[in-house]
A = this chain, B = another copy of it.
Amino acid sequence: MPNDVAAQEMTPGILSLLPLFYVGWSDSVLSPSEMKVIHQKLESFSFLSPAEKEYLIRWTDPSSPPDEATFKQWVSVMREYSQSLPDDKKTSLVELGLEIASSQSVAGQAIRSAETKAALQDIGDALGVDGQVSSNILLSKINGPGSEAQTTDLSFDVNQLKAFLDGDYSQTKDRMRTLLSDPIFAYVTEPDKDKFRLRVLEQTKELAKQGVSAYSFPKKYGGGEKSGDHIVVFEMLGYSDISLAIKFGVQFGLFGGAVYMLGTEKHHRKYLEPMHRAELLGCFAMTETGHGSNVKGLTTTATYDDDSKEIVIHSPDYDSGKEYIGNAMHSTMAAVFAQLIVDGENHGVHAILVPIRDEQGELMPGVTVKDCGYKMGLNGVDNGRLWFDKVRVPKDNLLNRFGDIDNGVYTSPLKNPSKRFFTMLGALVVGRICVGLAGISASKSALTIAIKYALKRRQFNAKDGIPETLVMDYPTHQHRLIPLLAKTYGYYFALRRLAEKYSDNQDGDMRHIETLAAGLKSKATWHTTRTIQECREACGGKGYLKENRFADLKADTDIFTTFEGDNTVLMQLVAKGQLTEFKQSFHDEGYRAVVKYLYTRFSNKLTELNPVQTRNTSAEHILDQDFHKDAFLYREQKLLISLSQRMQDYLKKRIDPYQAFLKCQTHMLASAHAYIDNIVLKSFIKVIDTCEDPGVKTVMTKVCNLYALTIIDEEKGWFLENDYLEGNKTKAIRRVKAKLIQELRPDVEGLVDGFGIPDAMLGAEIV
């Protein structure tokens, strides 16, 4: 016995709780609501005597925390009682408590029961302390530094997680995993762009041979009629060499998509089959040097000549040249977007199929092509610039689904030119979903490499002669990687849900889907850039070597934030979509009144009517999904309403609408971010609802909570500024978030294994 006082007080009941209290107090934080829960639980425990309860309750008084001498005594007692324990009993504070209590006396043995264990577990939960990291604090104290256990027992079955993530597409995904693990898809460092491009071209043809290029096309042209599977194929290519993904996307998604979505039967019959067999290589010539985001302003012209029944494609100047066109060096045909002029009248942007090379690969007359040269990444893709000098094509080459020339007269099923323009662009929304998902695949690869390395790499130790600490066990490292992992899950679920909505609803109103695609593409690809960067840095010098994959992951995905729509421009589209939807949800006459009403409601509701919400610092409340939903909705709505009000204000003051838009531009971005953050949260929660495996459901709920708390913590400035949260609560959120990260630490390897990325596709030497 360490000393007499201890000998009297340290009954088995008290001993069983000692490890939990020791670790709980070591953080100096017991909030009033945590204490209340602990008191209630202690009172209800039948294995404790009234004297023991009273004694233990004294230990929870935050106004007189245990003093230094008490801590010293606790450590001595635990050290004494635990010496004879086997190591595996020391990995849980609950187990350790039970062992200490029951190892020394018969009375102690009586305490060990399922009921007691559950009771201790409850206390541990209330204190938020059980788990790997907590145990290590204790073990290093009892047995000296270096004795920390490193169990990696997962709380769930990885195969179940993989099955849940793959969902309905597990067959297609597994097929792609096998296919892309084949040596012909292996990563090689090929610094010469021309050789690299030929290699990627061969791989593209191989994919066509396997038939995975045809999922989105009609069966009668050899297609699969499964647009969901097309998206999945692209998502899986995001794990491969991303040059291949983009080459695939250009040929079958953009070029093929233009023929299919903008063309009609005559084009489908003639081109779809050779296109998806990669016999007819084509490019998608939309962007010009002078016009990227502003597609409406393209200056290439397509002038109809009624005498010859031909269309004349012409680039009036250097800046009207088509820019960054993928597949430009290998293609024989281009879908050229140009201002269609019929009888002197401009009918806006239309797509026309223009042969650019003959069968021998020689350029057609009037066509100039220039290689874009080396790029930051994607050097396996042959991007080029194209100019047309009065190139003539038959009238039939006009992709005429939304606009046609009939007897020399322009006709269109869509009379409104603006609506026609957006319908044509909207037909290509799937590209944004694909790019978002491929970005998330790249994020998953980066996180898998960084986390697996951090589970092998050790650096620094507490003292000589003991193993160095695993890099994954540094809190800074956990805080760098685990929240990014949670966000990656969030974007994945949101994009998958969107992909399904898209596949199920191709003929319905696409406007909402377009808004979501624009926003999710943007947020997911920004997230990708940030995640890969953080993972590279987390692997130090090893991350910089090409052999460990980050170099290409980083360089290849960097352009994702720009192509298929510049993210900053897309986020403004999202805000415009929000404003339109918001406006449409009321009658015009009632609009202003409603705005005023909602504004008042939102600015007062939670501070005046619900002080509990702003101040409640209990872990239980902070981990409650209702709190997350409310916070995300509040932010989304308040930003949107104030944006709407501000716009109205400017217009009322006769500010020109364009200037008013400029003045609100940064506000629009903030609103769009809040909107998409909430979309992700809602998707995350909905997808978890469908999970049937209890282990997976539990860990996914934790990951979702971490996603929510990470966003709230990042945006705490806004929440505080708007009085939705008080300072004590944001501090409590930080603590709960930190505990959640600790809790997920032992599951972290399983959470990346669940992605199911074969080693061959990961392609990193250090893993």
- Chain A interface (Cβ < 8 Å from any Cβ of B): 25-28, 66, 68, 71-72, 75, 136-137, 140-141, 145, 189, 191-193, 287, 291-294, 297, 323-324, 372-377, 459-463, 468, 473-476, 479-480, 529, 533, 536-537, 540-541, 543-547, 550-551, 554-555, 558-559, 561-563, 566-568, 572, 646, 649-650, 652-659, 662-663, 665-666, 669, 716-717, 720-723, 727, 730-731, 738
Contact = CB atoms under 8 A, between A and B. Distances in A.
A550 B654 CA distance: 42
Given A323-B541, A537-B567, A546 B373 contact: yes
A293 B474 contact: no
A529 B461 CA distance: 30
Contacts of A561: 537
A195 to B, nearest CB: 10
A652 B544 CA distance: 42
A155 B411 CA distance: 56
Q: How many copies does the complex hold?
A: 2
B649 A28 contact: yes
B292 A540 contact: yes
**Chain A interface, >50% SS class:** helix
A723 B717 contact: no
Contacts of A468: 294, 297
Contacts of A28: 646, 649
Nearest to A726: B721
A437 to B, nearest CB: 20
A720 B722 CA distance: 11
A558 B544 contact: yes
A71 B567 CA distance: 36
A666 B475 contact: yes
Contacts of A294: 459-460, 468
Contacts of A567: 537
B653 A71 contact: yes
Nearest to A471: B293
Given A323-B541, A374-B191, A551-B555, A460 B141 contact: no
Given A71-B654, A654-B141, A717-B717, A559 B546 contact: no
Contact of A563 (B72, B541, B665): B541
A541 B325 CA distance: 11
A205 to B, nearest CB: 24
Contacts of A566: 540
Contact of A551 (B375, B657, B669, B721): B375
A413 to B, nearest CB: 24
Contacts of A665: 474-476
A310 B646 CA distance: 80
Contacts of A375: 544-546, 551
A558 B546 contact: no
A3 to B, nearest CB: 16
Contact of A140 (B191, B374, B479, B656): B656
The 9 closest A-B pairs by CB, nearest first: A462-B658, A376-B551, A717-B717, A720-B720, A191-B191, A374-B546, A716-B717, A721-B727, A71-B653
Contact of A189 (B374, B568, B646, B669): B374
Given A191-B374, A475-B663, A566-B540, A654 B75 contact: yes
B136 A474 contact: no
Contacts of A372: 545
Contacts of A71: 652-654
A276 B26 CA distance: 56
A404 to B, nearest CB: 24
A66, A72, A475 pick with most chain B CB within 10 angstroms:
A475
A373 B189 contact: yes
A42 to B, nearest CB: 22
Nearest to A546: B374
A12 to B, nearest CB: 23
Given A140-B658, A292-B459, 19 more contacts: A66-B653, A68-B653, A137-B659, A137-B663, A141-B659, A191-B374, A292-B541, A324-B544, A373-B545, A373-B546, A373-B547, A375-B545, A462-B658, A480-B568, A541-B559, A541-B562, A666-B738, A716-B720, A720-B721
Contacts of A536: 376, 558
A568 B297 contact: no
Nearest to A379: B191
Contacts of A662: 473-475
B376 A555 contact: yes
Contacts of A720: 716-717, 720-721, 727
30 contacts: A26-B650, A26-B663, A68-B653, A136-B659, A140-B659, A141-B656, A145-B656, A191-B191, A191-B193, A292-B540, A293-B540, A297-B459, A297-B468, A374-B546, A374-B551, A376-B555, A462-B658, A462-B659, A473-B662, A475-B662, A475-B663, A476-B572, A533-B533, A537-B561, A537-B567, A554-B558, A720-B720, A721-B731, A722-B727, A723-B727
A373 to B, nearest CB: 6
Contacts of A654: 68, 71-72, 75, 141
Contacts of A659: 136-137, 140-141, 145, 462
Contact of A721 (B479, B656, B716): B716
Contacts of A722: 727
Contacts of A537: 561-562, 567-568
A192 B191 contact: yes
Contacts of A66: 653
Contacts of A558: 536, 544, 554
A646 B665 CA distance: 43
Nearest to A148: B659
Nearest to A540: B562
A375 B28 CA distance: 46
